[in-house]
Structure 1
Amino acid sequence: MQRATIENMLNSVDIRINGTRAWDMQVHREQLFQRIARRGSLGLGEAYMDGWWDCEALDEAICRILRGRLDRRFRLTLPDMLAAVAFAVRNLQSVARSTLVAERHYDFSNEMFAAMLGPTMQYSCGYWEGARNLDEAQEAKMDLICRKLHLEEGMRVLDIGCGWGGLGRYMAERYKVRFSGVTVSKEQLRYAEEHSRGLNLRWRLEDYRSLREKYDRIVSVGMFEHVGHKNYATFMRTVRGLLEADGLFLLHTIGTNQESRSGDPWIEKYIFPNGMLPSIADIGRAIARRFVMEDWHNFGAYYDRTLMAWARNFRRGREEGRFRCEERIARMFRYYLLSCAGLFRARSTQLWQLVLSPKGLMGGYCRPVR
């Protein structure tokens, strides 16, 4: 594929090579076009990390590429085919492999994540209805989760994939629940323990498949993306076994518009190894005969604003010296955050909150009004 071919494709979505607008690509190495042709999205991302090209409004460029469905022209590259085969043949999210994403991403640096995420330490989509900034959006998200779960004082609550513990602290302080959180990240566990003294909280370094206790409420925020299609049924069966008969489960997950059995090769290699986004059909099959669907809420458009806020925080935190990383890593995070913002802006990917019950609530479920 020659430069002219790729240039024509970009022109079709109003992106110019070395143009003057913020979303135009500035190409520094002519070999970029060959790299994209051979390696698709992996080549595009790696070339950005290596400084072969730049784009002031990278998020908008990616949005235009996805809205124009140009990404579909590169799905037969070798990295994409190898990823598809690996996800189809192997259980890449087995118990033995469950800590890989923590070691590669979540354990990267608590200082960096604190600078990027802000004081709430929420690494998932904020709820921006009425919010003026990221912190308000994240607090609104935590409040929405608590109200959807109909929390009451003294309830036993489990958080599967508890992150740095922000949601648990919020629940313990505002609703006086007995909270347990599990994570596979040693750094997240350390942070959660250090910032939760004096509260009724318990943190464990454990895979969800080994849990045995009973809970009144279960929540999982931004973890289901690491479960994998070979384990969706196991996950739902495990949650059903841990939940009291009159309990509620809230699942907060990114989702895709159509079924897929592999992730993006660049995201897989550099950000979330073995990650896989579920479809509506995937979730439906996993909850069938196990749960009653009480509520399904999509606010994926809010992830654009959340990711843009994280990108600003990351840049500011590095400039202020709140954390250190080499230039290639900084470009990796910038590409990750801004390209994902473009992904959600294009509505190629969604953010769902589901409320599930084992037998169905008598009288029905009513989603709380903000």
Structure 2
Amino acid sequence: MAEYRIPPQAIKGRGLAWHQPHRFEREARNAFDDGWGGADGEGAAFAEVPPPATQVTWETARSAIARNESPDIGFTYGLNPYRGCEHGCIYCYARPSHSYLNLSPGLDFETRLIAKRGLAERLRDELLAPRYVPERLAVGTVTDAYQPVERELRLTRAALSVLHAASHPLAMVTKGSGVERDLDLLAPMGQQRLAAVYVTITTLDAALARRLEPRAAAPHRRLRTIRTLADAGVPVGVSVSPQIPFINDDMEQVLEAAADAGARAAFYQVLRLPWELAPMFRDWLALHYPDRAARVMARMHDLRGGKDYDADFATRMKGQGVWADLLRQRFAKACARLGLNRDSEPLDLSRFRPAALRGQADLF
């Protein structure tokens, strides 16, 4: 059987160019060139077509705050305005969640988004519930709250307005420079220890970033976002995740650049390849890095006990074995040298004032 390879020009601006079948599908189809589609009879199935446009479908939010039960995640409550993500990161562990919508974790994940109508209203109601006890609320931990579509829909902005009015603490992780648009809300919250922002910088290599995260802000732009947040008084950190063996090997340089820009905290995770993500990542490797694809996956198996992925809570974030220990040591030594993760103050839960929300109905 001839090797099936997606031409590079077909994926410009997108992380994937094909509809990866999800695990609940019974049938799978591949494009096939029968020789009849082009004037010269070649490349018909893969003729250049306009890049697929982003489609947004609205769903009514039945709740705003999701509860996390995983013991290896450092927060209990999360809030995600969108399902799917335009950034198109090939490594995104959330891709397989699109399977539950009967959509492809591949191209559909980055082009067919679900926006939650009424999210801010549901959030307001939940914060006003008599039994609600405030904890740090993690915003955008599954898909990015500041992906490009937020510029128009402003769901994240509406949710932040509720949290700001109630003085409710929040932390967020983002690759989007759009977070700067909400500095009028985040800056006063940060100064009162009510908000913290982590900016993900996977690598400083702009060309690699375009392949890994085609619609996310460029690395130099994310460093500028860190500087802008820090100058505004928002506690800011950096996520150097995911660590992908032999692909983004500049952890120390990223940490140093982020610290110079004003980051005062950092964390990392190792690449996770659950469900459909493993074959998609293998295809991406074969396309962009065929010379080292086998080596990358061999090291992933070293980190995952001989498998593509191990969902064990004890090891899924950092991996296991000698290579995981080496990553851990590199990260710890770099953070110690740069003064990261020192003297970080917890967010202030005592300021929470839900009564301030009772007069906000006219805002929505």
Common fold by TM > 0.5 = no
TM-score range with shorter-chain normalisation? 0.3 to 0.5
Instruction: Determine which structure has greater relative contact order: mean sequence separation of CA pairs < 8 Å that are 6+ residues apart, divided by chain length.
Output: 1
More helix by share: 1
More strand by share: 1
